[in-house]
Structure 1
Amino acid sequence: MNKKWMRNEGQKWVEDNIITEDQLDLIVARYPDTDNKRRVTSILPVLASILIGIGILSFIASNWGEISPLARLLLLIVIMLGFYYTGDRSLKAGNDTLGTSLNILGIISFGASIILLGQTFHLNAVDARLFVFWSLPAVYYLFRDRNKLYYFLLCVLTVGGQLYSLNEFQSFSYLLFVIFLLAVGGYVFLYPTNQKSWVFTVGLSIQALMFIIVEDINFLWFFLFGFALFTAGLWVEKNVFKQPFHTLGTLIGFGYAYGLYFMLTNDFSSDLELPAPYVFLPILIVILALSIIGKRKENLYMHAWELLIFVPFFYLVKVADPLLVGLVYLIVMFVYSGFKLAEGYRNENRSQINFGIVLFLLVCLMGYFNLAWSFMPKSIFFLLGGILLFILNSFLQRKKMKILKNGGPHHD
């Protein structure tokens, strides 16, 4: 029995005063839910609908030149509306998976129709406006049906559209970014889940990176974006955003420390271009102040060591040997990963421990490569490096199991 269909039908009985709301709950609870079984049996119809849709669009594309322009337009409209109509009929019948799949095919056929019609009338695209229009039906169905498949499709269209704009036109689509921010971000804000918040955070970071590439801005500004993302995790009210913002911001900062250490200790310092300090540093100081206040607000004042990874030590290359600055980054990464590991052990938090182990091993690996690559025979280098990492990982994993064996992670 499909409980969703029963509840939708039963709600009509409640509105007609045939039964009460409590009686409807009792009736629905009386029957087992077969949604899980339907998920398995609905895979074949979904695959069938996708294959049929691809087959139809492929057939049209291969015979496109033999069809008159008016017939092309009518054919594309009929196919698109057919997908939408059958999709909504399936949804009303209680077959959510099939209905959603057909509506997604309708959205895909809508975008394909724009492309094919553009070829018919020889329209040349100069920006990513195609993806702006293409994403609008996805926004409509996302907020109408609240299905995560529409959410992921919208993310693909907006982020993919930006990648297309970057590759084809060397431009950044502000309209796509606004749609991503308002529709994708707004949906996560209204209907938050960890999975969707991670997708939004990664998509936002990719778009920020593409903006920096398109506008030919110094790449160290993306480091500042990571710091801003980390700080936003301290201030955002929605808990679902805190971990993605914090973790991804940390990874960006740690990744920059990792890359700068490699550059500055391997004679690549001449390739390092620093952003104008009179613009970069004031903004960084403001973000630093907000992060300190945010940590105090969250009673995390003792965890100020997390900010160490965001200190702009790279400006020291103006007054010090680049090799020494690189070694400073190595020390910072060792201290940071060590504190992160110790925090995980103290909190008995499995995810924090695993994160700390990964960071610590990465720092050890980079330090070992830089130290031993130039003078050690390569066979011994790889053999010894693998053995050392294996021993170190085994030690850290045993310590983790020892910490977690009495009750497991209390703060996962």
Structure 2
Amino acid sequence: MWLQQEVEDWNREGIIDDHQAKLILSRYGLTEAPSSNKNLSNKKDASQLVTVLSILGAFLIGIGGILFVASNWQKIPTIVKMVLLLGTTYGTYFIGWELKFNRRTHPAMGEALLFLASLFVGATIFLTAQIFNVNANEHWLLLVWFLAILPFGYAFRSSIIISLNIVTFALWTTFYISQARYLALSSFEIFMLYLLLGINLYGLGQLHLKFEKYAHFRIIHQGFGLFFILISYFYFSLETPYRDILTRLTPVNWQVQLFFLLFAVTSVIFLISNISMYRKVKNTKYELIVLALAFSGWIGAWLLTFFINSLTTSVTEYGHTYTRIDPTIATLLFILFNLIFFILSVGSILIGYYKATVPFVNIGMFFFVLGVLHLYFTTLYELLPRSLAFIAGGLILITLGWYLENKRRSIINEIRGGPVA
């Protein structure tokens, strides 16, 4: 029936969630009515709690096992080491698969074991490198780990493994550029990289909507994307990068330039893809604004590195002369990037509201509050006597916390279709 097809398309494109889709179809007798919101919420919360506890338990077991083996590593023969590493990893995957997919008796525990096995993959790679006298600090070991578990997140339908995959890739990019530069990577370059990574992750999440089977994985990619975008702009909203770090940047080699160029090109491709999607689905306008503004800010920060020498002045302190960016320019950059940061934080909340995605609302709220706290302790605190600053800050934070928590609950309840608390 055409209505059923339309509802499935809406669900796949993120216009409505699974629960809303069932409600619409049940109204016209095309499926059974879903459980009540309260019962559904209670079951979902209980299931999530079991999953979280299982994953935390698996993580602790994994760390404990790795530490135990590492403490006795020199006493174990090489062949026994390899059998132990490969056997433990394979066995954990097998038990996890049995519990989640084959027997389906304990899916949450199976999910946790599959995640634990993916951690064991990393331990196996690094410990095997140590066995054969390979430097464990090599960046390509992280890349091998990333590639080794890349299919498992989708094959096992596991968001937590996909999260691990994203984290390993982010770590690899950092280590790769750091080693390519033959020196410590500056924090400014790290967050320039993470900003592009965030834009790419969000765009990659959008691509998942084209594949119905994997459409629900868009949230994990886009959630990480928003996190990397907002944490990068929070860093840029500080004055420290412009007063100190930018003036100490050294020229980068062609490998690093090529790496940034590839990330920038894919960011542009995802932006263009989002524009074409906006023509079909109107509620993507906030996503388009967030991605376009985030990328525009990156271009501005990148161009700033070329003109930094013309914006600096010499400052003499305690008999030493330092190169510092002009205070007026630093203040203007502070205001500009704070403005972009707060626009993106609000944009994340709006995306979560119109996409009915609670994690996006929480991410936006978290960084909005973080930005307010930062402004308070760097501006208002300095303008008031210390005692008044603490009193005013306490009142502001209590009021802000109360308002934002109520607003967050209101948005989440509206997203879930329940009564507004």
Q: What TM bracket, shorter-length normalisation?
A: 0.5 to 0.7
Superposed CA RMSD in Å reads 4.4
Letter in 2 for 1:292: L
The number of residue pairs the alignment matches comes to 301
CA distance in 2, matches of 1:371, 1:163: 46
Whether the 8 Å contact between 1:263 and 1:269 is mirrored in structure 2 is: no
Map residues 90-239 of structure 1 onto 2, 5 A cutoff: 114-117=73-76, 135-145=85-95, 146=97, 147-159=110-122, 169=135, 171-172=137-138, 174-175=140-141, 177-182=143-148, 184-215=149-180, 216=183, 217=185, 218-219=189-190, 220-236=192-208, 237=211, 238-239=214-215
1:200–1:294: structure 2 CA closer, same or farther, 3 Å change rule? Answer: same
> Are 2:335 and 1:372 equivalent residues in the alignment?
no
Q: Which moved more, 1:186-195 or 1:400-409?
A: 400-409
| Alpha-carbon offset, residue 172 of structure 1 | 1.7
CA distance in 2, matches of 1:405, 1:242: 22
What CA deviation, in whole Å up to 9, does each residue of 1:104-125 have, x standing for no partner?
999998777753136xxxx9xx
What is the SS of the residue equivalent to 1:372?
helix
CA distance in 2, matches of 1:406, 1:181: 40
Provide TM-score, normalisation by structure 2.
Answer: 0.57
CA distance in 2, matches of 1:105, 1:402: 42
Map residues 290-301 of structure 1 onto 2, 5 A cutoff: 290-296=269-275, 298-299=277-278, 301=284
Whether the 8 Å contact between 2:201 and 2:225 is mirrored in structure 1 is: yes
What is the SS of the residue equivalent to 1:192?
coil
Structure 1: runs of 5 or more not aligned: 1-39, 41-96, 124-129
CA distance in 1, matches of 2:373, 2:379: 10
CA distance in 1, matches of 2:138, 2:179: 6
What CA deviation, in whole Å up to 9, does each residue of 1:221-243 have, x standing for no partner?
34433333333222244334322
Whether the 8 Å contact between 1:230 and 1:250 is mirrored in structure 2 is: yes
Structure 2: runs of 5 or more not aligned: 1-49, 51-57, 98-109, 312-328
Identity of matched residues, %: 17
Whether the 8 Å contact between 1:227 and 1:253 is mirrored in structure 2 is: yes
Q: Which structure would you say has the larger Rg?
A: 1
| Alpha-carbon offset, residue 170 of structure 1 | 6.6
What is the SS of the residue equivalent to 2:249?
coil
Map residues 310-389 of structure 1 onto 2, 5 A cutoff: 310=295, 311-312=297-298, 313-317=300-304, 318=307, 321-346=329-354, 349-389=357-397
CA distance in 1, matches of 2:65, 2:405: 49
Whether the 8 Å contact between 2:125 and 2:145 is mirrored in structure 1 is: no
What CA deviation, in whole Å up to 9, does each residue of 1:248-278 have, x standing for no partner?
1221222121112214577324456377596
| Alpha-carbon offset, residue 330 of structure 1 | 0.4
CA distance in 2, matches of 1:291, 1:250: 14
1:249–1:345: structure 2 CA closer, same or farther, 3 Å change rule? Answer: closer
Letter in 2 for 1:327: I
Letter in 2 for 1:154: A
Whether the 8 Å contact between 1:230 and 1:246 is mirrored in structure 2 is: yes
Letter in 2 for 1:396: L
| Alpha-carbon offset, residue 333 of structure 1 | 0.8
1:304 alignment partner in structure 2 = 288
1:231–1:172: structure 2 CA closer, same or farther, 3 Å change rule? Answer: farther
What is the SS of the residue equivalent to 1:151?
helix
Q: Which moved more, 1:342-351 or 1:270-279?
A: 270-279
Whether the 8 Å contact between 2:202 and 2:222 is mirrored in structure 1 is: yes
1:116–1:287: structure 2 CA closer, same or farther, 3 Å change rule? Answer: same
1:93 alignment partner in structure 2 = none
What is the SS of the residue equivalent to 1:262?
coil
| Alpha-carbon offset, residue 160 of structure 1 | 5.5
What CA deviation, in whole Å up to 9, does each residue of 1:327-369 have, x standing for no partner?
2110101111122223444455543332222121112122222
Provide TM-score, normalisation by structure 1.
Answer: 0.58
Whether the 8 Å contact between 2:139 and 2:175 is mirrored in structure 1 is: no
Whether the 8 Å contact between 1:338 and 1:356 is mirrored in structure 2 is: yes
State the structure with bigger RCO (CA 8 A, min sep 6), 1 or 2: 2
CA distance in 1, matches of 2:222, 2:339: 22
CA distance in 1, matches of 2:410, 2:116: 43
| Alpha-carbon offset, residue 178 of structure 1 | 1.9
Q: Which moved more, 1:242-251 or 1:264-273?
A: 264-273
